[in-house]
Amino acid sequence: MFSHNLLRSVSSAVCKKCEGLVPKFEAIFGNEYVKTTESFRDHYGHDEGHFPNRPPDIVLMPGTVQEVSAAIRLCNEQRIPVIPYGTGTGLEGGVTAFKGGVCLDLKRMDQMTQLNEEDFDCVVQPGVTRKMLNEMLKNTGLWFTVDPGADASICGMIATQASGTCSVRYGTMKSNVKNLEVVLADGTILYTRGKNRRPWKSSAGYNLTDLFIGSEGTLGVITSACVNVHPRPPALSAAVCSFPDVARAVETVVNIRHMALPIARIEFLDEKQMQACIAHSKLNMEEKPTLFMEFHGANERDVEEQTALAEELCILNQGIRFEAATDTVGMNQLWQARHMAYYATMSQRKGARGFTTDVCVPLSQLPKVVTETRKDIDASGMYGTIVGHVGEGNFHCIFPVVEEDEKEMQIIWGLSDRLVKRALAVGGTCTGEHGIGLGKINYLKEELGEEGVHLMKLLKKTLDPNNILNPGKVLSE
Amino acid sequence: MFSHNLLRSVSSAVCKKCEGLVPKFEAIFGNEYVKTTESFRDHYGHDEGHFPNRPPDIVLMPGTVQEVSAAIRLCNEQRIPVIPYGTGTGLEGGVTAFKGGVCLDLKRMDQMTQLNEEDFDCVVQPGVTRKMLNEMLKNTGLWFTVDPGADASICGMIATQASGTCSVRYGTMKSNVKNLEVVLADGTILYTRGKNRRPWKSSAGYNLTDLFIGSEGTLGVITSACVNVHPRPPALSAAVCSFPDVARAVETVVNIRHMALPIARIEFLDEKQMQACIAHSKLNMEEKPTLFMEFHGANERDVEEQTALAEELCILNQGIRFEAATDTVGMNQLWQARHMAYYATMSQRKGARGFTTDVCVPLSQLPKVVTETRKDIDASGMYGTIVGHVGEGNFHCIFPVVEEDEKEMQIIWGLSDRLVKRALAVGGTCTGEHGIGLGKINYLKEELGEEGVHLMKLLKKTLDPNNILNPGKVLSE
């Protein structure tokens, strides 16, 4: 469970050591990109998770990798924490400046600096979000496939090893990065695959790229990424089917994958989530565990074939009311419940904020873990729904919570804690796609063992000997 | 170019320090699994590449991870090199014991210890080869997809980040590993994702798994791996088409990928390779750049659709004689040239051994690099053919060489050297799937820059402070 005593006490004043650096930063960045006012800094002390707001002492807004490098070098000399900031849409407190320091807001670096259509890749700066990138790509026939819901920055998604609804077909962030430009703790600018290199694959030395994916700003600051973009599918279709229980829904997913059906999205909503969606959007659907599917194909017949096969497998697993559509309007209508899932849950409680959990378990363990979790939520007296990227065994509980209600928050943290332990007990992980940040830091040893955490700490020490890079995140100190 | 002076002079005697350890090893392993006779050790001093044979001082044949751990701990105390050995099918000298030491022959650890059909994964020991694994899986409807040609061990393939003909659809080794058991330099047994964990994805801390993939035994010895297995496609088809030039063939690949066609295999053979195949197997085919394709689908109509679309795209790119088949006999006939490519090339020169190069470039650069390489080979007076996993921009030249002819070998190393430089000049890599070993060690700095090599050396120093794990491979000392 998240422990509040990790956090230093709130202080609105800029620390003396940081204050001394302000003129140096201003000389590098110009006055307008060095921010120290409390009202400005306040915005950077939290993400969308449930952790106390702890603003940094200074916010810098670099425009180039050289500026990032210069800033980090100064911070390293002075042993001042450096926290990279993308869109602040994380959920595990990854940007919280609980030791103060310098926040690097990277949004000014917002260019796609290369597009290589024939090679299915592009190079983006850290201020580019996934929606911005897809807008930039709109006339190319290509798209960026990693879709975690939030309009996160691509480099932020790399930092947390994000994924989302499409990764069952197109891979998580990890399988969509060709090269990274990273500024290390001493200011060195590193290209993980060598400068300007974009081979589809390589066996040349250690996987430096993957060392930084999921490192949450604790090993280096990602200032540019060469990522894969995929062809937009010429044909799409969508389908929805309800099931008598979770087990049948999951069994259908296994069957679909066994048939080598290259399904593009397969999402699960539990009965409570469906109830909320039906009430919120006045839908004519079943209040039962439901699968939402999307098929991408080379042409219409291709997606029709895929849809027909999926229907057959749903029916074999006692699916109820399989419905499909190939036109945009019909597809959107079918998927409306999924699109609105979060808002439907939140609408059940006015004035609440969303609290989202995140575990991933082997597919075979999913029915057991989801069923037990449902029971646990119901027994707690809290209201919560379950939605999952079920093709990969990854699911979330969504709770509308009132943060000020400490007792309620204790119940929620308790539910989240038991969920993690349930996932760990069956060979799963405490986080499928949100990262460790502050919120999951205490589970790492249980998940990876002493040896794993020890090696991670050795790596951290090797890459960041002065512990200036997002200190206290991922690994406990 | 590979420099011979890296190698110590040949010595058939076991070094004194190693000799002193023999009784200790015998106490752990039993006499029969501690080998010191010259004739036995001789077999372990080389792989299938072209490097002088340098046998280890002792060959150990462990049966358990505990034995591996005990052996490595002893070697670490005595600063004796440890070289893991799978099948010896590598091509870059990765197993050469040029500093002597202890070779761990892992073939006795040959079990699949877990099969989780519903989770599409299994756990294998390091003695399991890809053919053995597919034999073990034959009644399951599942298969292991990474196919580099040789019957390499799975864990050896992980150590070199191997790939092969199917990775365009099913991913390289890197995207098919869920967890690794690794023995570190001090004997610690590490599970990179935590013991017995098999989540499809995770954002929990640094990617330790990927740190060991492609590390070629220099950071740890892989003693077990949880790898993905994929459903066997219910329907398959194959097709072949020739093109007037390399550029049209590659353009077809780009078009196929742009259409989101999930092609399972797409292989390129150049005109010289086709000449050799036609002569060798008396085929009625064109002596022109040719693409070999395979389609995997959910049913027959699915693969028919894929094949028809591929045909359309081939014809648009001036493809000559597109031929397809869906029955096993027909498919094998069509693919015969590809299956026999290596042997066809070798049959052009009696008594020669094969020498295979390995680069990977962005797809857009492939026509230029292949064309220039063809010219370079022809100008050299050597005979050689080109075959490639063209969907990923990875290709090999195959030369039948007489190793004893030093002048000839100099020409070959020269061709290989210029090929690497050509690949590096257009943003590619010096090795797509064979690894660095000894053979590519001098290219790493050019490819990755000082910063990349420096960080790799730091990682090596952190994980193996006494430099006992496969010393002198991957990184120069």
Digit-coded pLDDT (tens) for B17-67: 899 999 999 999 999 999 999 999 999 999 999 999 999 999 999 999 999
Digit-coded pLDDT (tens) for A106-130: 999 999 999 999 999 999 999 999 9
Q: Mean pLDDT over residues B329-339, rounded? A: 92
Digit-coded pLDDT (tens) for A402-438: 999 999 999 999 999 999 999 999 999 999 999 999 9
**How far is A436 from A444, CA to CA, in rounded Å?**
8
Length of chain B as a residue count: 477
Residues of B in contact with A309 (CB under 8 A): 298-299
Residues of A in contact with B476 (CB under 8 A): none
Cβ of A455 within 8 Å of Cβ of B430? The answer is no
Q: B367: distance to nearest CA of chain A, Å?
A: 12
Q: Do B321 and B241 meet the contact criterion of CB atoms below 8 Å apart?
A: yes
Which residue among A201, A298, A453 sits closest to B433, beta carbon to beta carbon? A201
Q: Which of B168, B147, B169 is nearest to B339 (CA)?
A: B147
Q: Do A110 and A131 meet the contact criterion of CB atoms below 8 Å apart?
A: no
A117 shares its domain with A100 = no
Torsion of CA B226, B231, B233, B234, to 10 degrees: 160
The verdict on residue B40 lying in a domain is: yes
The verdict on residue B298 lying in a domain is: yes
Q: Do A209 and A197 meet the contact criterion of CB atoms below 8 Å apart?
A: no
Q: B118: distance to nearest CA of chain A, Å?
A: 6
Closest-CA residue of chain B to A449? B194
**How far is A295 from A302, CA to CA, in rounded Å?**
9
Residues of A in contact with B236 (CB under 8 A): none
CATH number, domain of A369, equals 3.30.70.2740
A356 shares its domain with A425 = yes
A321 shares its domain with A214 = no
Digit-coded pLDDT (tens) for B66-111: 999 999 999 999 999 999 999 999 999 999 999 999 999 999 999 9
Counted across chains A and B, CB pairs separated by less than 8 A come out at 312
Residues of A in contact with B266 (CB under 8 A): none
The verdict on residue A473 lying in a domain is: no
Which residue among B190, B197, B431 sits closest to A455, beta carbon to beta carbon? B190
Whether the pLDDT of residue B439 is over 70: the answer is yes
Cβ of B161 within 8 Å of Cβ of A203? The answer is yes
The verdict on residue A466 lying in a domain is: no
Cβ of A427 within 8 Å of Cβ of B302? The answer is no
Which residue among A194, A201, A394 sits closest to B432, beta carbon to beta carbon? A201
Residue of B117, B174, B203 for testing the chain A interface, max A β-carbons within 10 Å: B203
Residues of B in contact with A299 (CB under 8 A): 305, 309
Find residue B124's DSSP bridge partners: B112, B225
Which residue among A116, A254, A362 sits closest to B362, beta carbon to beta carbon? A116
Residue of A123, A201, A261 for testing the chain B interface, max B β-carbons within 10 Å: A201
**How far is A387 from A345, CA to CA, in rounded Å?**
11
Closest-CA residue of chain A to B474? A205
Q: Do A91 and A148 meet the contact criterion of CB atoms below 8 Å apart?
A: no
Which residue, B77, B105, B133, sits at the end of a domain?
Answer: B105
* Average pLDDT score, chain A: 95
Q: Which of A407, A475, A397 is nearest to A435 (CA)?
A: A475
Q: Which of A178, A160, A22 is nearest to A94 (CA)?
A: A160
Find residue B396's DSSP bridge partners: B387
- pLDDT attached to residue A5: 41
Residue A58 exposure: Cα atoms within 13 Å on the Cβ side: 28
Which residue, B78, B105, B132, sits at the end of a domain?
Answer: B105
**HEC sequence for A28-75:** HHCHHHEECCHHHHHCCCCCCCCCCCCCCCEEECCCCHHHHHHHHHHH
Residues of B in contact with A448 (CB under 8 A): 191, 193-194, 204-205, 208
Cβ of B205 within 8 Å of Cβ of A296? The answer is no
The verdict on residue B271 lying in a domain is: yes
Q: How far apart, in Å, are the Cα atoms of B137 and each of A252, A320, B226, B234?
A: 22, 34, 14, 16
**How far is A50 from A213, CA to CA, in rounded Å?**
24
Q: Do B178 and B198 meet the contact criterion of CB atoms below 8 Å apart?
A: yes
The verdict on residue A178 lying in a domain is: yes
Cβ of B196 within 8 Å of Cβ of A475? The answer is no
Q: A290: distance to nearest CA of chain B, Å?
A: 20
Q: Which tokens go with B358?
A: 């390995």
**How far is B251 from A278, CA to CA, in rounded Å?**
49
pLDDT category at A8 given cuts 50, 70, 90 is very low
CATH number, domain of A148, equals 3.30.465.10
A336 shares its domain with A256 = yes
Q: B138: distance to nearest CA of chain A, Å?
A: 14
Cβ of B363 within 8 Å of Cβ of A172? The answer is no
The verdict on residue B320 lying in a domain is: yes
Q: How far is CA A428 from the centre of its chain?
A: 17
The verdict on residue B412 lying in a domain is: no
Q: Do B213 and B178 meet the contact criterion of CB atoms below 8 Å apart?
A: no
Residue of B201, B259, B429 for testing the chain A interface, max A β-carbons within 10 Å: B201
A239 shares its domain with A298 = yes
Digit-coded pLDDT (tens) for B384-436: 999 999 999 999 999 999 999 999 999 999 999 999 999 999 999 999 999 99
Which residues 6+ apart lie within 8 Å of B297 measured at CB? A260, B233, B234, B235, B236, B237, B303, B305, B306
A198 shares its domain with A118 = yes
Which residues 6+ apart lie within 8 Å of B4 measured at CB? B52
pLDDT category at A267 given cuts 50, 70, 90 is very high
Residue A12 buriedness (CB in 10 A; 0-12 / 13-18 / 19+): exposed
Q: Determine if residue B323 is left, alpha or beta; phi over 0 gives left, psi from -120 to 50 gives alpha, anything else beta.
A: beta
Cβ of B452 within 8 Å of Cβ of A161? The answer is no
DSSP string, B326-375: -SHHHHHHHHHHHHTHHHHHHTTSTT-EEEE--EE--GGGHHHHHHHHHH
Which residue among B205, B262, B436 sits closest to A474, beta carbon to beta carbon? B205
- pLDDT attached to residue B210: 98
Residues of B in contact with A428 (CB under 8 A): 197, 199
Which residue, B342, B377, B405, sits at the end of a domain?
Answer: B342
Whether the pLDDT of residue A1 is over 80: the answer is no
Q: Mean pLDDT over residues A164-177, rounded? A: 96
Using DSSP, state whether B294 is helix, strand or coil: strand
Length of chain A as a residue count: 477
A9 shares its domain with A58 = yes
Q: Mean pLDDT over residues A212-228, rounded? A: 98
pLDDT category at A13 given cuts 50, 70, 90 is confident
Q: Do B173 and B458 meet the contact criterion of CB atoms below 8 Å apart?
A: no
Residues of A in contact with B192 (CB under 8 A): 452
Which residues 6+ apart lie within 8 Å of B20 measured at CB? B78
A129 shares its domain with A226 = yes
CA dihedral (B300, B303, B305, B308) positive or negative: negative
Cβ of A233 within 8 Å of Cβ of B120? The answer is no
Q: Which of B363, B421, B370, B369 is nearest to B392 (CA)?
A: B363
- pLDDT attached to residue A12: 65
Residue A473 buriedness (CB in 10 A; 0-12 / 13-18 / 19+): buried
Digit-coded pLDDT (tens) for B154-180: 999 999 999 999 999 999 999 999 999
Q: B302: distance to nearest CA of chain A, Å?
A: 7
- pLDDT attached to residue B8: 43
Cβ of A459 within 8 Å of Cβ of B302? The answer is no
Pairing of strands A121-124, A102-105: unpaired
Whether the pLDDT of residue A298 is over 70: the answer is yes
Cβ of A190 within 8 Å of Cβ of B444? The answer is no
Q: Which tokens go with B151?
A: 């019957």
Closest-CA residue of chain B to A202? B432
Q: How many domains does chain B have?
A: 2
Cβ of A449 within 8 Å of Cβ of B257? The answer is no
Cβ of A430 within 8 Å of Cβ of B204? The answer is yes
CATH number, domain of B274, equals 3.30.70.2190
- pLDDT attached to residue A175: 95
ipTM over 0.85: yes
Q: B105: distance to nearest CA of chain A, Å?
A: 23
**Helices and strands (H, E) in chain A, number of each type:** 15, 19
Which residue among B116, B194, B205 sits closest to A362, beta carbon to beta carbon? B116
Q: How far apart, in Å, are the Cα atoms of B368 and each of A271, A388, B375, B378?
A: 57, 46, 11, 16
Q: B364: distance to nearest CA of chain A, Å?
A: 6
Which residue among A172, A199, A443 sits closest to B362, beta carbon to beta carbon? A199
Q: Which of B98, B267, B29 is nearest to B168 (CA)?
A: B267
Q: Which domain holds residue A56?
A: 4-105
Which residue among B174, B194, B453 sits closest to A449, beta carbon to beta carbon? B194
Cβ of B234 within 8 Å of Cβ of A309? The answer is no
CATH number, domain of B79, equals 3.30.43.10
DSSP string, A110-168: --EEEEEGGGTEEEE-TT-BHHHHHHHTTTTTEE-----SS--BHHHHHHTT---TTHH
Closest-CA residue of chain B to A178? B362
Closest-CA residue of chain A to B362? A199
